[in-house]
Amino acid sequence: MLETGNIYRDNVSRLIGWGHWLVFFNILLALLVSSRYLLIAGWPDTPLGVGYMLTSWVGHFAFLSFFTYLLTLFPLTFLFPRVRAVQLMGAAIATGALTLLLVDTQVFSLFRFHLNPTVWRLLLEQAQAEEASGWGWLFVWVPLLFLFELWLAGWLWRWSQRRRRSLTLPLALPLLASFFLTHSVHIWADALVYTPITDQKANFPLSYPMTAKSFLIKQGWLDEDRYRQLSRQVAEQPQRRLNYPLRPLSVQAPDASPNILLVVADGLRADQLDAITMPNLNRFASRHLRFDNHLSAGNQPRSALFSLFYSLPSHYQRDAEQEGIAPVFIDELQRQDYRFGLFASGGLDKPLYRNAIFSTLRNQPFDTAARGAEGDRKAVADFSLWLEQEDNQRPWFSFVYLDALNQLDLPADTEGPFQPSLQQLNPAQAYQNEQRDALFNRYRNAVFYTDRLLGQLLSRVRQVEGRDTLIIVTSGHGVEFNDNDNNTWGFGSAYSPYQLQVPLVIGWPGQHQPARFSHPTSQLDLVPTLMRQALGVQSPTRSFSTGQSLFKVDANRWRLASDEEEYVIYQQDDITLFNRRGDVQLLRAKDYKTEPDASPELSLLLQVMNDLNRFQGE
């Protein structure tokens, strides 16, 4: 029963005054705990950025603490105006809030994002598991913090009753000023695209700094064209430094270095490598090394090629392009005096080639060329002509890129054996279930034509004498034709096996006998295998790669594919899809459908996040 009259009002008034002091001291505790965010996120490069970080840190956690009090303890004070009851509730609420904050700092240190429902569920499941020893600190932290909060609540009650002078205004004003200054400065920084400040927006939990671009443009205080120009300039600047390789390589070069030919028939699915659709490559594969359970590391050309050459997730691609960092594989080939022959359908005048993969090569023709079937034919012809001019005194590396399959392109005078086939390809109308069979037959005909080119190329290479030639034939990604009945077509639209599973065939004379492998492998594994077995690199693989040897058999290994925003983990029959915001989804590999009652492994996400951050510079 609630008290009434002066006694009730006096109790509530004293408890509200005491509550303000409890909030103030818990703001200090929250700042102490949340200081971990400052260390994890790293300090900005400019004094203004540092000043903003400190100001926003104080203002944000002061606001969160006071807002928590307003939503919880403040209304409870009116309902239960008893000193002991309010002190007990205040201690419990403060303990819960600070514990949640501490858990979030741990999640942020591991994943670089904050708690969300999916991650919270994963943490609870891990806490209930037998191996949840990592949660033992909570059994110490929570009771000690609760006892401390009870003592603090009692001490503040006695202390506040003896005070006659109010300190509310002097203490509250700096905190309030920090909060408003944070949002005001962010409005300015967002309008001027000042990244030392705008890049901090995800540092703290529940942080939503204000923006006002539309209002400023409408009032004429911000020039829209100028803003867009600044945005483009910032987008072209590196967001972080790529620390790759982690340390200088130790190399013992072989006495006789092999020639290396890397052929990427982009868009080639693994299930097309059979005696009917690809007789030439299938015959070659039967006589050499064939990897049947091989995944690309990207579902579109740029991300797949980046990961193939660098053995890194495409998360690092923008940094490599903007900083002009070439793959250690290309650098080592140059150090060992390899000659280079590069032949790409569509040409090499692309940022990925010019600014990253081949950025350290001199006298390379970074020009455009025909694409599709004609570009493929020309690339193979140019390679054959280049090969005739080689004196074979020095080892060579050649890259041949074919892209007709990406466009389902065929020469005008070619029909192909698979009929009925779609004759005129109109992407706006072709990707429909009514034409699925005809469209798929067109794809198979394009594969058949590509195989003919590969037959010519492989036949030409076999005529080279005097030095062993290591031949690698693979693809960047596959192409999907609504195979899972989920209206998914083409490439770059999903991380299903149809878009990621690609063939890998290696002719490796002198080292490996013909074999067919079924253990899980990845495109991230190719470079470390070549570096160690063909180029004599002795350094640990982890210092320059996120892959492993192609010949390491591990049926339970996980494999990563990604673009700059999304990541997918293949582990046996499960697919874990997640992004930088912390959204996590578990799917079945057999049909790419969601598993509603399943949850990904937290330990697996930790391993993947380590690879996604291992080569990120300070």
The token pair at 529 is 């295998």
How does pLDDT run across 275-307, given as a tens digit for each residue?
999 999 999 999 999 999 999 999 999 999 999
Q: Nearest CA to 34 among 93, 95, 91, 98? A: 98
Mention every residue, 6+ apart, whose C-beta is less than 8 A from residue 350.
none
Q: Does 205 sit behind a cis peptide bond, omega within 30 degrees of 0 on the bond before it? A: no
With residue 233 as reference, give the H or E element that holds it: helix 224-235
H helix runs in 112-208, sequence order: 117-128, 136-162, 168-191, 195-198
- Beta-strand relationship, 515-517 and 289-291: parallel
| Residue ranges in 340-435 assigned as alpha helix (H) | 351, 372-389, 404-407, 427-430
Q: Which of 450, 516, 455, 529 is nearest to 288 (CA)?
A: 516
| Residue 110: both structure tokens together | 């591991």
Model confidence band, residue 118 (pLDDT cutoffs 50, 70, 90): low
Q: How far is CA 200 from the centre of its chain?
A: 19
State pLDDT tens for residues 473-530: 999 999 999 888 888 888 998 999 999 999 999 999 877 789 999 999 999 999 999 9
Three-state SS at 570: strand
Q: Give pLDDT tens digits for 519-572.
A: 999 999 999 999 999 999 999 999 999 999 999 999 889 999 988 788 999 988
Neighbouring residues of 490: CB distance < 8 A, sequence distance ≥ 6: 431, 479, 480
pLDDT at 611 over 80: no
**Averaged pLDDT for residues 571-587:** 82
Checking if the pLDDT of 2 tops 50, the result is no
Q: Under a CB-based contact definition with an 8 Å cutoff, are residues 102 and 141 in contact?
A: yes
Count of alpha carbons within 13 Å of 551, Cβ hemisphere only? 11
Q: Is the pLDDT score of 106 beyond 50?
A: yes
Say which range, 108-112, 295-299, 521-525, 584-588, has the weakest mean pLDDT: 108-112
Who wins on pLDDT, 414 or 180? 180
Q: Which residue would you say has higher pLDDT here, 337 or 159?
A: 337
**30-39, 424-433, 501-510: segment of lowest average pLDDT:** 424-433
Residue 129 has pLDDT above 60, yes or no: no
Contact 476, 304 (CB under 8 A): yes
Judged by average pLDDT, the poorest of 271-275, 547-551, 578-582 is: 578-582
Q: Are 611 and 313 in contact (CB under 8 A)?
A: yes
CA angle 101, 172, 181 (to 5 degrees): 75
Strand 521-522 versus strand 504-507 pairing type: unpaired
Q: What is the pLDDT of residue 40?
A: 84
> What's the rounded mean pLDDT across residues 146-165?
84
> Would the pLDDT of 407 be above 60?
yes
Which of the two residues, 462 and 491, has the higher pLDDT score?
Answer: 491
- What pTM value is reported for the model? 0.76
Q: What pLDDT shows up at residue 259?
A: 93
Please give the full DSSP string across 450-502, using - where no structure is assigned.
HHHHHHHHHHHHTT--SS-EEEEEE-S---EESTTSSS-EESSS---HHHHB-
Residue-level pLDDT at 434: 67
What phi, psi does 470 have (nearest 5°)?
-85, 120
Distance from C-alpha of 251 to C-alpha of 337, rounded to nearest angstrom: 14
Residue 429 pLDDT grade (very low, low, confident, very high; cuts 50, 70, 90): low
Higher pLDDT, 586 or 445: 445
> Is residue 345's pLDDT more than 90?
yes
* Contact in structure between 299 and 547 (CB atoms under 8 Å): no
User: What is the bridge-based pairing of β-strands 289-291 and 504-507?
Assistant: antiparallel
Cis peptide, bond prior to residue 47, ω within 30 of zero: no
pLDDT-wise least confident of 44-53, 229-238, 282-291: 229-238
